[in-house]
């Protein structure tokens, strides 16, 4: 009797998905066997043999049950014998194929390169922008420490800046063209009618006078009158509105040490402001004399100041702490001509005509075009080298040195007398006597100290009047 091998049916808990038979065959999964009533038909293979078993790999290759030689399962699809793999539910790996979708791929090289390039470009752009900002901050945005607080442009009226702000609108620069050339000087407005006071030597021999205001506006001016003995002149502009006349002070009240401000156009630098003090009063100063006959000599009982004054300042105002005019800048003292180190500009010795004298002369020039000079009616010996002013023995053209019935004659002055004092102030020469007299008005009384025959006496004289040049 032949032995029969019985194959156990599949467990009841095992099943395969429908419609996957072909797929299972392709993957090595056996098709379900037909219902055979519990037994599978087997072929008679002859005598029974012991068949050695084979080990089934578990990890390196797919797990399969290897049938014994000569024994095989038959599929119901045809007569061809197809070996099948027995399913072992207790095996290490199931025979089902589970579809888990497409296997995820790793990041490709081109994606890494693109991401790196984009990151580099972005970082470079940010870095460049920050670098530009840093450069601007370090170069164009450099800020140094500065005092905090709003700018205060206001100045005290008595300060130099306050005085300049008050006076500058009334100060003008004069450009004069004449037969001997051209020059520059300064002047200041006297009234709303357009009268301007300046020095006589500024407008001497003038053919054309141009006045420039602090605003830069320029107009033509006409000469009203001038007097070389006082070195003063008046010019006038017409058709100009909004003039700023300067206030005139009292030069009799000026004291040594008072602060003063000078305004002018030194070397044609208009609207130049300098400051100093009154360093002396009553300085006898003579200027001019270019004609040789003495007719153009100016005699000034001047205010001395250390406020810098240079050529071009002539005719400009000298102002006190209240911005009132106390003098008209007229002359400077330089080093001696023989000195090799002679300085052409200011050395701190400037001289101004007292405004009281300037006011009187300006009024006469505006009214009549000429100024009068106070006189005592005597001719002085200008070559006298002693102390005081000596009355000459003879006058011009052989005439008496004391004018008959003149102020001096009525006071008792004689030829050869030496006048040593005027109102108690020492006189050292003829120039000083003239200056002391011209510091007054015609009709003013004076007390003269006279030395005659070695004896001093005092004489009272009332000043007369003479037309100026």
How would you class 17 by CB atoms within 10 Å of its CB: exposed for 0-12, middle for 13-18, buried for 19 or more?
exposed
- Radius of gyration, CA atoms only, the chain: 63
**Residue 296 among the catalytic residues:** no
- 340-355 burial, b for 16+ CB within 10 Å, e for fewer? eeeeeebeebbbbbbb
Catalytic residue among 201, 324, 373, 440: 201
**Residue 88 among the catalytic residues:** no
Give dist(CA 192, CA 220) in Å, integer. Answer: 16
What is the separation of C-alpha 113 from the centre of its chain, rounded to a whole number of angstroms? 56
Which residues lie closer than 8 Å to 353 by C-beta, 6 or more apart? 230, 231, 232, 300, 302, 303, 327, 328, 330
Cα separations in angstroms, 459 against 403, 411, 425, 437, 446: 16, 6, 14, 14, 8
Cα separations in angstroms, 286 against 264, 423, 433, 441: 21, 21, 12, 19
Give dist(CA 112, CA 117) in Å, integer. Answer: 9
Catalytic residue among 175, 195, 227, 231: 231
Catalytic residue among 200, 206, 228, 314: 314
Give dist(CA 384, CA 297) in Å, integer. Answer: 18
Please say whether the beta carbons of 365 and 227 come within 8 A. Answer: yes
Give dist(CA 211, CA 270) in Å, integer. Answer: 11
Which residues lie closer than 8 Å to 330 by C-beta, 6 or more apart? 199, 231, 285, 287, 298, 300, 302, 314, 315, 351, 352, 353
Angle 285-467-197 (CA atoms, 0-180°, nearest 5)?
60
Give dist(CA 42, CA 50) in Å, integer. Answer: 17
- 426-457 burial, b for 16+ CB within 10 Å, e for fewer? ebebbbbbbbbbbbbeeeeebebbbbeeeeee
**Residue 214 among the catalytic residues:** no
End-to-end alpha carbon distance in the chain: 180
Please say whether the beta carbons of 350 and 307 come within 8 A. Answer: yes
Please say whether the beta carbons of 203 and 225 come within 8 A. Answer: no
| Strand pairing category for 298-305 and 350-354 | antiparallel
Q: Which two tokens stand for residue 413?
A: 């002055």
Please say whether the beta carbons of 262 and 353 come within 8 A. Answer: no
Active site residues: 201, 231, 314
């Amino acid at each position: 009797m032949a032995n029969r091998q019985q194959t156990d049916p599949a467990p009841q808990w095992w099943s395969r998905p429908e419609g996957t038979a072909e797929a299972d065959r392709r993957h090595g999964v056996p098709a379900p066997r037909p219902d055979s009533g519990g037994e599978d038909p087997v072929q008679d293979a002859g005598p029974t043999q012991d068949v050695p078993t084979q080990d089934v790999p578990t990890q390196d290759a797919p797990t399969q049950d290897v049938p014994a030689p000569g024994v095989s399962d038959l599929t119901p699809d045809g007569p061809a014998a197809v070996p099948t793999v027995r399913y072992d539910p207790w095996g290490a790996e199931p025979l089902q194929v589970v579809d888990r979708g497409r296997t995820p791929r790793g990041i490709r090289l081109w994606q890494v390169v693109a991401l790196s390039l984009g990151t580099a470009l972005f970082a470079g752009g940010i870095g460049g922008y920050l670098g530009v900002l840093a450069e601007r901050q370090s170069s164009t945005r450099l800020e140094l420490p500065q005092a905090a607080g709003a700018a205060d442009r206001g100045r005290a009226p008595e300060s130099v800046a306050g005085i300049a702000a008050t006076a500058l609108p009334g100060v003008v620069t004069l450009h004069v063209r004449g037969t001997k050339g051209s020059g520059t000087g300064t002047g200041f407005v006297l009234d709303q009618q357009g009268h301007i006071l300046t020095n006589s030597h500024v407008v001497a021999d003038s053919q054309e006078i141009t006045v420039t205001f602090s605003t830069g506006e320029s107009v033509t001016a006409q000469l009203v009158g001038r007097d070389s003995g006082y070195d003063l002149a008046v010019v006038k502009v017409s058709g100009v509105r909004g003039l700023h006349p300067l206030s005139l002070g009292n030069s009799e009240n000026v004291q040594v040490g008072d602060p003063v401000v000078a305004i002018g156009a030194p070397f044609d630098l208009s609207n130049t402001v300098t400051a100093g003090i009154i360093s002396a009063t009553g300085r006898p100063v003579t200027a001019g004399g270019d004609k040789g006959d003495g007719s153009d000599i100016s005699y000034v009982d001047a205010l001395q100041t250390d406020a810098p004054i240079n050529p071009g300042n002539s005719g400009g105002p000298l102002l006190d702490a209240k911005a009132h005019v106390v003098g008209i800048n007229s002359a400077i003292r330089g080093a001696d001509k023989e000195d090799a180190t002679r300085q052409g500009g200011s050395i701190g010795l400037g001289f101004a005509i007292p405004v009281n004298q300037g006011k009187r002369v300006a009024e006469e020039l505006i009214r009549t075009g000429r100024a009068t000079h106070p006189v005592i009616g005597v001719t002085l010996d200008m070559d006298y080298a002693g102390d005081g002013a000596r009355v000459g023995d003879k006058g011009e053209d052989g005439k008496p040195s004391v004018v008959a019935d003149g102020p001096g004659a009525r006071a008792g002055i004689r030829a050869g007398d030496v006048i040593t004092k005027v109102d108690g102030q020492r006189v050292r020469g003829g120039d000083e006597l003239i200056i002391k007299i011209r510091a007054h008005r015609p009709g003013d009384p004076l007390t003269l100290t006279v030395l005659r025959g070695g004896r001093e006496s005092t004489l009272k004289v009332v000043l007369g009047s003479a037309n100026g040049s």
